[in-house]
């Protein structure tokens, strides 16, 4: 017997940045629940690998090269998905990340941080979310239905030391999520919902240099500090995000829009004492 609350059978989902560790796991979970998956990534080989894994597991997937910072690239991807499957029901904005040159360190002070590095991080996270929302959101406006999930971060609520650009960009995504939730519902259809997931500390390629020593693999002082301030006592794993994702994109969340859901192992609740 199907659980109607969490039924995704036949839905079409597009995920940007889906060649990466966290979003690829999301793509596989949605596929396992019956959704048709468009795997979008800047690196075609990474997208194809994830699509092949979904197909090998019995799911339906399409790999598409897509630059989340280039609207024509997103439009081509969207048109390809519509040609293949007729619509897009779910958009997961997963493209994002940080840059060493936009991170303060003993070798790089805030005062010397290069403007192009800050712009890169701000653009990648903020515009890399807004542009797909424009393209796929327009399609959802025509359909009068759809779900958009943005990727925020707990840095957006409590900015962390060193990563000024990343924290600022994720805070902006929270605002965009709320704004777009209202705009889409009031202007086009109340059946279009926009929410965000805010992961706590997850090990990814973008942040590994901050959390572990590159030579030994041991936790850095920062990595140890994070784990000691996380009541769960560990970093998050990709699987930890799946429950929130499935809830937000499924019929069970049909009255949920404009929120940012923390998935942080209790980090934000802990005062340090």
Residue 208 pLDDT greater than 70, yes or no = no
Could you give the residue numbers annotated as active site? 166
Question: Can you list the domains of the chain with their CATH numbers?
Answer: 4-200+236-261 (3.40.50.720)
Most confident listed range (2-6, 95-99, 208-212, 213-217): 95-99
Confidence label for 67 from pLDDT (cuts 50, 70 and 90) = very high
Strand partners, 36: 12, 60
Strand partners, 151: 197
User: Can you tell me the distance from the alpha carbon of 16 to that of 13, in angstroms, rounded to the nearest whole number?
Assistant: 10
What's the pTM value of the predicted model, to 2 decimals? Answer: 0.94
| Mode of pairing for the β-strands spanning 60-65 and 90-93 | unpaired
Name the DSSP class of 108. Answer: B
Phi/psi at 66 (5° precision): -155, 130
| Long-range contacts (CB closer than 8 Å, 24 or more residues apart) made by 114-117 | 117/165
Confidence label for 205 from pLDDT (cuts 50, 70 and 90) = low
Query: Residue 86 region, left (φ>0) first, then alpha (ψ -120 to 50), else beta?
Result: left
Residue-wise pLDDT for 12-23, tens only, equals 999 999 999 999
Residue 212 pLDDT greater than 80, yes or no = no
Averaged pLDDT score across all residues of the chain: 94
With contact defined as beta carbons under 8 Å apart, do 30 and 107 qualify?
no
Residue 209 pLDDT greater than 90, yes or no = no
CA-closest candidate to residue 40, choices 79, 10, 69, 74: 74
Per the structure block, which two tokens stand in for 49?
Answer: 């690998």
Residue 241 pLDDT greater than 90, yes or no = yes
Confidence label for 217 from pLDDT (cuts 50, 70 and 90) = confident
């Amino acid at each position: 017997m199907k659980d109607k609350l969490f039924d995704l059978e036949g839905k079409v989902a597009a995920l940007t940045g889906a060649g990466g560790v966290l979003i690829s796991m999301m793509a596989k979970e949605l596929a396992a629940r019956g959704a048709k998956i468009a795997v979008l990534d800047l690196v075609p080989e990474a997208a194809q690998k994830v699509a092949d894994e979904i197909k090998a597991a019995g799911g339906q997937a399409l790999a598409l090269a897509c630059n989340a910072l280039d609207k024509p690239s997103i439009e081509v991807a969207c048109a390809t998905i519509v040609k293949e499957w007729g619509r897009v029901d779910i958009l997961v904005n997963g493209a994002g990340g940080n840059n060493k040159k936009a991170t303060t360190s003993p070798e790089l002070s805030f005062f010397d941080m290069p403007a192009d590095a800050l712009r890169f991080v701000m653009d990648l996270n903020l515009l890399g979310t807004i542009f797909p929302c424009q393209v796929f959101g327009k399609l959802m406006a025509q359909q009068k239905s759809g779900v958009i999930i943005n990727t925020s971060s707990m840095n957006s609520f409590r900015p962390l030391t060193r990563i000024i650009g990343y924290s600022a960009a994720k805070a902006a995504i929270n605002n965009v999520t709320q704004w777009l939730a209202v705009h889409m519902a009031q202007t086009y259809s109340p059946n279009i919902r926009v929410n965000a997931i805010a992961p706590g500390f997850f090990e990814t390629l973008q942040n590994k240099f901050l959390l572990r020593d590159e030579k030994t693999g041991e936790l850095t002082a920062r990595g140890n500090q994070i784990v000691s301030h996380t009541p769960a006592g560990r970093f998050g794993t990709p699987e930890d995000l799946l429950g929130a994702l499935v809830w937000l994109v499924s019929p069970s969340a049909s009255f949920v829009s404009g929120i940012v859901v923390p998935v942080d192992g209790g980090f934000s609740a802990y005062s340090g004492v």
